[in-house]
Structure 1
Amino acid sequence: MKQLDKEEQQLLELLPKGIERPRPLKELVKLTGWNSRKVRGIINRLIIVHHQPIGARYEHPNNGYFIITNDQERRQALAPLTSQITMMSRRAEIISTAELNKKSPLNATHRPK
């Protein structure tokens, strides 16, 4: 495994252990001074490149990122990801099999004459 760079180490240290008090993206942005895209990119690198067990909780108001510490937290972190994968697969399947040259009700009303 590759060694963490300074930014990766900094962000990893800001993540709480366990799902009880996840750290919201907004707070990570404020603490680091980076934009949300950079924070999400580094979190992605920590997971993909460095195999860090980082989960996200999406339920408001207790949403944010955390370090997974047990199997229950792992299951909770995986649930929204697997749901998203399922929905994206459905969309891809429908798009790949949709008829293309058929007039749709949307196109018919906005077509120039």
Structure 2
Amino acid sequence: MRLDQEEQQLLRLLPHGGNHPRPLRELVKLTGWNGRKVRAIIYRLIVVHHQPIGATNQKPRNGYFIITNDQERQQALAPLTSQIQMMTKRAQVISSTELKG
């Protein structure tokens, strides 16, 4: 499957490497789209088109970037792994909590 125009546009805006990631609000400003649309396109670029896009939330260097090496890959995977663990724990508690009423 080929990238559509919006996917190509967003991909061109992402820097190569994690040294200067581009924040979501900057991508919103540059594209004129809302944050939800930018995140949806990033999701498609990763999941559908297998683009190695990472994100970091470590201020002041937070934002999206194209992964270029294994260190950046690990940097991008760390918050995802943590989020998965937190969500799994939350789901376990909700499913096992006794309901009142």
TM-score (norm 1): 0.87
In 2: Cα distance, 1:15 partner to 1:81 partner: 19
1:96 corresponds to which residue?
95
1:35 corresponds to which residue?
34
In 2: Cα distance, 1:29 partner to 1:94 partner: 36
Q: Which runs of 5+ in 2 are unaligned?
A: none
Following TM superposition, by how much is the alpha carbon of 1:101 offset from its aligned partner in structure 2, in angstroms? 2.1
Of the two structures, which has the highest relative contact order with CA contacts closer than 8 Å and spacing of 6 or more?
A: 2
TM-score (norm 2): 0.98
Query: Which structure shows the higher strand fraction?
Result: 2
1:6 corresponds to which residue?
5
- Find runs of 4+ consecutive structure 1 residues off by over 2 angstroms: none
**Aligned-CA RMSD value:** 0.8
2:80 corresponds to which residue?
81
Q: Over alpha carbons, which structure has the higher Rg?
A: 1
SS of alignment partner, residue 58 of structure 1: strand
Q: Which runs of 5+ in 1 are unaligned?
A: 103-113
Identity, in percent, stands at 72
